[in-house]
Chains A and B, each alone.
Chain A
Amino acid sequence: MREGAVKGERGTRSGESIRTLKHGEEAAHFDILNLSYERWGSEEEWRRRYVLHPDFDISENVVIVEEDGEWAGGGTAWFREAFLKNNKTIRVYGAGDLYVHPHHRGKGVYSTAMRNLNQLAQKKGAVLGFAYPAVYRVPSLALPKYGFVTVFHPMTHVFVLNPQKFFQFLVSRARKAYFPEKFNGLNFSLSVSFNTLDGRREATGVFRIEKGELNEFNEEQGKASIDLTLKAEAGTLLRIISAFYLGKRSLFFQVLLALLRRCLKFRFSMKFLRALLGL
């Protein structure tokens, strides 16, 4: 068996092979991680999150998928002891930072990495697997294929002291989000109001969805018609965005509640309505 090969590898397609990261490849792994995520973060953060944990070994826990010998993707497994209510412990694993090199997307590399992470965890005695995807990104939709089921919806609470900065932060997050393809080509204007210690403040922006991604309008596009105009109170907007990704029933309830409380106002074109209804 070659160095770093995963024992008994299965679930690979023709031309694919699986191995684990070798010592000395950390920098290359980190570069691909940053390339695949556009920006994952600092190497210090990667070390803090994984390498510095006493139960973590890069040559055992980091899986790499190769396509015809090229580094195509991978994922990381980390192990913890979980306490049960009878004080006994079980071994659990976390699946994280799955990535696919931009040149190898759409070939099933993610599937291969995820299946092999589950197999690796089972071989190492894990009883349960945990994954922590962002609600607005693709893995939360993909992971059920690999046996994962959503069980917790942890709340994020935010105290906004500078509304304009928080609005910019939301836009930067939204730019990483996945939007259903049916919304491609739609333009919308967003106006968000915040209740702060200094009174009511408002932040606005104009956007366009293209290739499933949110883009800020440039000047030329600014002349185009607006398909959706949204005016919302910040808390209401965040709850609606969450509900959008959590399911239709939740979305309907939140929108209805916001309209009744007059925390949300919107105006839309027929183009938007047709896209929303999938017509």
Chain B
Amino acid sequence: MPESVEKRGTATVTKDGELCGYAAYHLVNLGESRVYDVREIVAEDEEVFTQLIDQVIDRSLKDNVDFIFARRCEDPYGKVYVKKGALSFVESVIMVALLNPRELLSALSQETEDGKVLSLLIKGFDPVTIKVGTKGIMVVTEEKPDLTVSTDSKTFIRLLLGKTSLTKQFLKRKIALSSILSWTTASHFFNIIKHGKWYIPMGDWV
């Protein structure tokens, strides 16, 4: 966001001398408007989060601010905004592209003794062979696959980030298995690699 920062501030909440949450904000001038832009807000529970919001609103009134923006990639205490009378809307989206599935799966690998071997075919990339064990996965090179899973990079990303389910994508024919009998292995594989929660610093996406 192009901005002209007039002032910076931090609101904090402590209990028994320990920090329980903080909010960092800028006072910026956007055109003719004076705006508080909350760049980061972290709280250990909803009560602390509410206190932080109250502090920011109080300070904004003293600074003669026209409106306050607060954004987070994922909102664990999103209901507090509604209770406090904030308007909420979607202004931007976060998009992800797969560039190297082998490196990604290698980073998720751990030593795995037993398990079925899955060949993952993602359109546009070389196949990756993975041993799927009970507790983890391991990228392997010389083992013969027991099953093949074929998909495209966008479906893979959405499964990786927990934005869809294997069943949904299978029914939409976005993902194919060499044998339906391998369903349990494929489902287990996607459960292991799933990263449903991400924290993305706001400085990168606003």
Contacts and interface: CB of A to CB of B under 8 A. Distances in A.
B67 A162 contact: yes
A172 B65 CA distance: 18
B94 A150 contact: yes
B97 A155 contact: no
State the main secondary structure of chain B at its contact with A. Answer: mixed
Nearest to B53: A159
Contacts of A245: 90
Interface stretch (A7-15, A38-46, A217-225): A38-46
A135 B67 contact: no
Contact of B33 (A149, A151, A169): A169
A151 B204 contact: no
Contacts, number: 217
Given A165-B32, A165-B67, A166-B66, A156 B2 contact: no
Nearest to B163: A151
Interface residues of A, number: 65
A51 interface: no
Nearest to B81: A157
B60 interface: yes
Nearest to A164: B66
Contacts of A88: 107-108
Interface of B: 1-4, 30-33, 35, 57, 60-61, 65-75, 78, 81, 84-100, 103-104, 107-108, 110, 153-154, 157-158, 161, 163, 195, 198, 200, 203-206
Interface of A: 39-42, 45, 49, 78, 80, 84-86, 88-90, 93-94, 118, 121-122, 125-136, 140, 143-144, 146-162, 165-166, 168-169, 172, 195, 234-235, 238-239, 241-242, 245-246
5 contacts: A133-B95, A156-B69, A166-B33, A168-B33, A235-B89
